[in-house]
Amino acid sequence: MKNVLEVEDLSVAFATDAGVVDVVGSVGFSVAAGETVGIVGESGCGKSVTALAIMGLLPRPAGVVTGGSIRFDGVELRTLEPDARARYRGRTMSMVFQEPMTALNPVQRIDRQLFEAIRLVAPKASGVDLTRRAIALLSEVGIPAPESRLANYPHELSGGMRQRVLIAMALACRPRLLIADEPTTALDVTIQAQILELIARLQREHGTAVILITHDLGVIAEIADDVVVMYAGRVVEHAKVGPLFANPRHPYTRGLLHSIPRLDREPRTRLPAIAGVVPALSEMPVGCRFRNRCEHAEARCEVEPALEATGKGSLVACVRWRELD
């Protein structure tokens, strides 16, 4: 399958009071039509920054892409003029955020916000046409009685409904690439199941390439084909979903998988937790960024590890992966 998006060696830096900090480095992956790539990691691992960099939505002027390449259908987006870049957003690539309440305009009716998204791809649509399309979109994302929702404001909808509206807006342009950043994190588990099913159905029907960003390994196991595990701004492991869960190679991935309470584990036993916390960006260890929390760390880990192929297309950034196997 042809790749829709190719990200290579991407790095992002943020200007802070304490100077310029390297937030994301050497991130690479690709997404083909109809494929779902999951990016998983904990707070501050750089997963959302990666998504914003791809969309060209890094907060300005603080956030800057400092290296690497982002190609959409083979076109390098990094070097495009801002106008040309903006034409990709809401036309060929869309994004859905975690908190629909902040992503939606609270003082604007649902229909006006949908019209805005529709006009991006159909600038000449008439009022009747806009309404018709808005209703079709709401109904496509499973909102019952969509006509009656058009005049609602976001606060009149439940969290699950708001997320559906946001997905409807993202779909208005029939995007080739959908980036969903923690789309179900704020939702209850039964509503999460509905939204994940919706994303999967829309993807099947339209062959959309999807990047799903989450901290939830359960969600990853459920819908990702390919998984990128990030820690402190670096990709530590990259593999197909099967091998990743069956045979995780990186000590961080293993630690993460072991530390989740699972339904098939003996209750009330100690969880094998990862010690310590993610270091602040200003205190990041030299070399492997996980080494101060890693039980296998040794002197060699003071050099930044490169991603190495472990077979079957899997990559791991740990100098000791062979011995730990």
Q: Applying CB under 8 A, which residues contact another protein?
A: 42-43, 144, 158-161, 188-194, 196-197, 215-222, 241-242, 245-246, 255-257, 259-263, 265, 267-268, 270-275, 277-278
CB of 265 to another protein, least distance (A): 7
Residue indicated by tokens 């439940």: 158
Residue 149, SS3 per DSSP: helix
Residue indicated by tokens 């699972």: 262
Amino acid letter for position 121:
V
Instruction: Rank residues 77 and 274 by Cβ distance to another protein and give the closer one.
Output: 274
Instruction: Rank residues 132 and 313 by Cβ distance to another protein and give the closer one.
Output: 313
- The distance from CA 263 to its chain's CA centroid, rounded to whole angstroms, is 26
CB of 186 to another protein, least distance (A): 10
Residues 6 or more apart whose CB falls under 8 angstroms from that of 250 comprise: 229, 236, 237, 290, 316, 317, 318, 321
Instruction: Rank residues 128 and 263 by Cβ distance to another protein and give the closer one.
Output: 263
Residues 6 or more apart whose CB falls under 8 angstroms from that of 224 comprise: 36, 37, 38, 212, 241
Instruction: Rank residues 128 and 275 by Cβ distance to another protein and give the closer one.
Output: 275
Strand 75-76 to strand 93-96: parallel, antiparallel, or no bridges (unpaired)?
unpaired
Strand 63-72 to strand 75-76: parallel, antiparallel, or no bridges (unpaired)?
antiparallel
Q: Please confirm whether the linkage preceding 82 is cis (ω < 30° from 0).
A: no
Instruction: Rank residues 176 and 291 by Cβ distance to another protein and give the closer one.
Output: 291
CB of 144 to another protein, least distance (A): 8
Instruction: Rank residues 190 and 282 by Cβ distance to another protein and give the closer one.
Output: 190
Q: Which pairs from 131-137 meet CB under 8 Å and 24+ separation?
A: 133/172, 137/168, 137/169, 137/171, 137/172
Query: Which strands make up the sheet holding 177-181, listed edge to edge?
Result: 93-96, 177-181, 209-214, 36-40, 226-231, 234-240, 314-316, 308-311
Instruction: Rank residues 128 and 273 by Cβ distance to another protein and give the closer one.
Output: 273
CB of 247 to another protein, least distance (A): 12
CB of 241 to another protein, least distance (A): 5
CB of 113 to another protein, least distance (A): 21
CB of 85 to another protein, least distance (A): 33
